[in-house]
């Protein structure tokens, strides 16, 4: 089972893994606004494993269930939903989550999801046959509490109450930054109040730019 067209149509990037000339074994569908700290390791690790250990990512497990075993939440994360049909884990801030749906459940059966809050939407969807090792590694990257480097104006205003901002320092997870912009470190704080739902069924398009 691959990812349906409605999700692929809303994606900014689709990663397909399989033998050339054949249907992909599994897919990762990534929408706009997905942080590069999650996307870059995913693609780089896949490229390395396809070269060095293709058996790790080309296992033809087309019916692999998403919930063979219960998923333990990452350090500091909480299990918001835990039932036979699926699990939902939430980050300490409530602004990010991980969901797994069993193939026998309704809706997006057998998929894995990583996503941001409803206001600052981003979504990574993995098809059911995605190797569990890929899912675990992506979960570790998403849950990594290490600070990241951002231009201050790139931080959503609704997230500022969850951040500790300090001058950029060596050792942080960094991205190439436009020259001439001040940079800062954004470190997530613990959740202290209600937040927006973790996932939106169909990610919304960003608002059109306003001209002055």
Q: Which of 55-64, 70-79, 121-130, 156-165 has the lowest mean pLDDT?
A: 55-64
Measured CA to CA, the distance from residue 46 to residue 14 in angstroms comes to: 13
- 140 pLDDT band (50/70/90 cuts)? very high
pLDDT of 5 over the 50 cut:
yes
pLDDT of 1 over the 80 cut:
no
Considering only residues 70 and 61, tell me which one the structure prediction assigns the higher pLDDT: 70
Average pLDDT over residues 23-40: 85
Average pLDDT over residues 128-149: 86
pLDDT of 184 over the 50 cut:
no
Report the candidate in 117, 111, 130 with the shortest Cα–Cα distance to residue 35: 117
CA-based R_g, the chain, Å: 18
| Token pair belonging to 7 | 């999700």
DSSP per-residue letters across 174-207: -----TT---EEEEEPPP-S----S--SSPPPPP
pLDDT of 141 over the 70 cut:
yes
- 127 pLDDT band (50/70/90 cuts)? confident
pLDDT tens digits, one per residue of 66-88:
454 567 899 999 999 888 778 88
Buried b or exposed e, range 13-47, using 16+ CB within 10 angstroms: eebebbeeeeebbbbbbbbeebbebbbebbeebbe
| pTM, entire model | 0.70
Report the candidate in 44, 65, 80 with the shortest Cα–Cα distance to residue 132: 65
Average pLDDT over residues 114-125: 79
What ranges do the domains of the chain cover?
A: 5-143, 148-188
Average pLDDT over residues 186-205: 39
Considering only residues 134 and 155, tell me which one the structure prediction assigns the higher pLDDT: 134
pLDDT of 181 over the 50 cut:
no
pLDDT of 183 over the 80 cut:
no
Average pLDDT over residues 33-51: 86
């Amino acid at each position: 089972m691959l990812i349906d067209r409605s999700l692929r149509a809303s994606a900014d990037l689709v990663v397909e893994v399989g033998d050339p000339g054949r249907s992909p074994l599994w897919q990762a569908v990534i929408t706009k606004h997905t942080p590069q700290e999650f996307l870059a390791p995913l693609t780089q690790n896949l490229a390395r494993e396809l070269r060095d250990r293709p058996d790790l990512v080309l296992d033809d497990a087309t019916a692999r269930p998403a919930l063979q075993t219960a998923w333990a939440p990452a350090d500091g994360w909480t299990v918001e939903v835990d039932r036979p049909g699926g699990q939902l884990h939430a980050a300490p801030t409530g602004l990010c989550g991980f969901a797994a749906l069993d193939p026998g459940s309704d809706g997006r059966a057998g998929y894995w999801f990583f996503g941001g809050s409803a206001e600052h939407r981003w979504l990574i969807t993995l098809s059911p046959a995605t190797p569990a090792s890929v899912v675990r590694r992506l979960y570790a990257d998403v849950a990594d509490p290490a600070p990241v480097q951002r231009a201050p104006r790139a931080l959503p205003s609704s997230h500022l109450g969850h951040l500790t901002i300090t001058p950029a320092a060596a050792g942080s997870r960094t991205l190439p930054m436009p020259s001439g912009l001040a940079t800062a470190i954004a470190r997530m704080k613990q959740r202290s109040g209600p937040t927006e739902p973790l996932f939106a069924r169909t990610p919304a398009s960003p608002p059109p730019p306003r001209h002055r």
